[in-house]
């Protein structure tokens, strides 16, 4: 499991939009990182909306047995290879979760909307 840095997570969050104000400038609350449980807090720099970023993907994949199958189906936007690894997950709103993944073939990193989580 790759150790994520705050800078890397902040940079990659810039690929998605704030659920409230549609900005894409986010910061990570460093206090949530030092707690060490893998549950980070991201804050929109424009409207101060806070949402959770889950970085303990080992635990997540253990508790969500369907997710590894889904990850094998995700196609890379660059090389079209199917199969990615999950780096972290952001829950932008009650209706929107995003997987931040890395292509197993070309190592491109990109965000993928998660349709897995049921919001009913
Ligand atoms: Zn915002
Ligand atoms: Zn690729």
Distance of CA 58 from the midpoint of ligand 2 (Å): 22
pLDDT tens-digit readout, 55-108: 999 999 999 999 999 999 999 989 999 999 999 999 999 889 999 999 999 999
3-state DSSP assignment of residue 87: strand
> Across residues 46-56, what is the average pLDDT?
97
Distance of CA 20 from the midpoint of ligand 2 (Å): 31
């Amino acid at each position: 499991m790759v150790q994520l840095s705050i800078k890397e997570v902040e940079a990659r969050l810039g690929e998605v939009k704030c659920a409230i104000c549609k900005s894409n400038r986010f910061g990570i609350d460093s206090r949530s990182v030092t707690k060490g449980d893998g549950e980070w807090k991201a804050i929109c720099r424009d409207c101060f909306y806070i949402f959770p970023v889950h970085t303990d993907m080992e635990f997540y994949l253990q508790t969500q047995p369907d997710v590894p199958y889904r990850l094998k189906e995700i196609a890379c936007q660059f090389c079209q290879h199917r199969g990615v690894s999950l780096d972290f997950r952001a829950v932008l709103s009650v209706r929107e979760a995003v997987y931040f993944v890395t292509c197993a073939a070309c190592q491109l990193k990109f965000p993928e909307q998660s349709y897995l989580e049921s919001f009913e």
